[in-house]
């Protein structure tokens, strides 16, 4: 059963926040949905936004500046949370790169995380079914994008489900989490020490293993403090070139990792997705 946490009219549409008891994550999960005014006339395309480390649905909802253009373009924007939460959910409260706010959009296989940290299945299975049942969503026209950890999620989910999504883009994604210092420890805790099991959670390795997506758009700020340690977009560029896959990688001079960067280029990404979703 889904409950409404809040709702407000915006740009002729409706921005809502909702909660439900998730069977996949075995806890209550919260998500946000912006329904554009065109939905009054019938189902509209669905664009999924996956947030980064430490975030919830609220970060992009409050700071992403997507509603004005989404309303003009007729796009529904769905913003899931980044992890399971609540009492009894395994966590490392002093580690912002793991646990609460850091689900990495994977299905954990290791105890004690396997029961709750199933964000891949939640984002690709349970939540889409809920959205389809309760909102005027055209599930035949879907796109996906995200930021940082969420950019990693968007890339890997699109590469693993190319028939579902018409478009994929990312802001400052973690392109190779299996080797990045701030994501590798999380993958080991969630998935175990066998690195072969990590390949499906790494965009560059998915591409090396033969997964394809028609084209990708990535924006990355040159003043991003995480550029060299965690993000390394050149590795995605190398993987796409080797595979003959189309990537538009835009290095944006002077921009950092914050929502000042994301909101600046949000319109470009919304237009990119709208053109490809039809």
pLDDT at 48: 99
Residue 156 per-residue DSSP state:
H
Give the DSSP H/E element, type plus range, for residue 70: helix 67-73
Q: Which of 148, 167, 169, 183 is catalytic?
A: 148
Phi, psi of 75 (to 5 degrees): -105, 130
Q: Which of 81, 202, 219, 224 is catalytic?
A: 224
Query: 197 an active-site residue?
Result: no
Q: How high is the mean pLDDT in each 10-residue block of the chain (278 residues)? A: 96 98 98 98 98 97 98 98 95 92 98 98 98 98 98 98 98 98 95 96 98 98 96 98 98 98 98 96
Residue 231 near residue 179 (C-beta atoms within 8 A): no
- What is the model's pTM? 0.97
pLDDT at 1: 84
Query: 147 an active-site residue?
Result: no
Residue 229, class by beta-carbon neighbours within 10 Å (0-12 exposed, 13-18 middle, 19+ buried)?
exposed
Query: 148 an active-site residue?
Result: yes
pLDDT at 107: 98
pLDDT at 231: 98
Question: What region, left, alpha or beta, does residue 212 occupy, with left being phi > 0 and alpha being psi -120 to 50 degrees?
Answer: beta
pLDDT at 236: 98
Q: Which of 57, 152, 257, 273 is catalytic?
A: 257
d(CA 37, CA 192): 46
Residue 63 near residue 160 (C-beta atoms within 8 A): no
pLDDT at 264: 98
């Amino acid at each position: 059963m889904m409950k409404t946490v809040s709702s407000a009219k915006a740009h002729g549409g409706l921005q809502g926040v909702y909660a439900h008891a998730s069977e996949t994550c075995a806890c209550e999960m919260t998500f946000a949905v912006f329904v554009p005014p065109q939905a009054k006339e019938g189902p509209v395309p669905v664009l999924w936004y996956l947030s980064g480390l430490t975030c919830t649905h609220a970060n992009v909802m409050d700071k992403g500046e997507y509603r004005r253009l989404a309303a003009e373009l007729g796009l529904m924007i769905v913003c899931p949370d980044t992890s399971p939460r609540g009492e009894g959910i395994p966590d490392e409260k002093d580690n912002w790169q793991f646990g609460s706010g850091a689900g990495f959009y994977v299905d954990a296989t290791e105890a004690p995380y396997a029961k709750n940290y199933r964000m891949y299945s939640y984002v690709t299975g349970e939540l889409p079914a809920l959205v389809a049942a309760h909102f005027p969503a055209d599930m035949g026209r879907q796109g996906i994008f995200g930021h940082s950890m969420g950019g990693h999620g968007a890339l890997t989910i699109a590469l693993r489900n190319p028939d579902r999504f018409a478009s994929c883009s990312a802001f400052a994604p973690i392109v190779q989490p299996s080797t990045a210092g701030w994501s590798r420890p999380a993958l080991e805790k969630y998935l175990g020490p066998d690195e072969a099991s990590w390949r499906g959670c790494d965009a560059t390795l998915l591409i090396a293993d033969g997964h394809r997506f028609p084209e990708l758009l990535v924006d990355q700020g040159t003043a991003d403090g995480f550029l060299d340690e965690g993000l390394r977009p050149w590795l995605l560029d190398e993987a796409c070139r080797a595979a003959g896959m189309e990537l538009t990688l835009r290095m944006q001079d002077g921009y950092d990792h914050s929502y000042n960067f994301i909101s600046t280029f949000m319109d470009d990404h919304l237009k990119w997705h709208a053109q490809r979703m039809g």
